[in-house]
Amino acid sequence: MASEKPTMILKSKSDLSAEEIDSMTDAEAWRLIYSIRTVKAKDSRLQVCFTGFGTSEKEELTYLAHDNRFKVVASVTQKLDYLVGGENAGPKKIEKAESQGVQFLSGDQFVHLIETGELPNET
């Protein structure tokens, strides 16, 4: 008989009867639980990374991003959509982002994007 935890999980996550669950060993129950687990949903939010800002300004931009359903990340990755840079943005980070096709925005341009939904014009 499966122990209490896998039994409770199977009762809530499967269509098995109590008798079927009771006839399982712990190993069988856990194997079944792992096989019926749903695939973790992909996070499809736009990703933004802030660099070169003072602590308080970065914190404000981070809150603004979270409030508008952006995923804030700490580094430049393949999935990054926007790199938002302040006065002290590192040239290597900007170079890496641009080489990957990531759009670079200033803090003001990011706020404009949030407020209007429009990307700034290239100058």
- Residue ranges and CATH numbers for the domains of the chain are 4-36 (no CATH), 47-116 (3.40.50.10190)
For the segment 95-109, the average pLDDT, to the nearest whole number, is: 93
Model pLDDT, residue 78: 87
Report how far Cα 116 is from the mean position of its chain's Cα atoms.
23
Please, which residues bridge with residue 47 across strands?
A: 71
Distances (CA, A) of 107 to 6, 41, 75: 50, 30, 17
What tens digit of pLDDT does each residue of 35-66 get? 776 555 577 889 999 999 999 999 999 999 99
pTM: 0.65
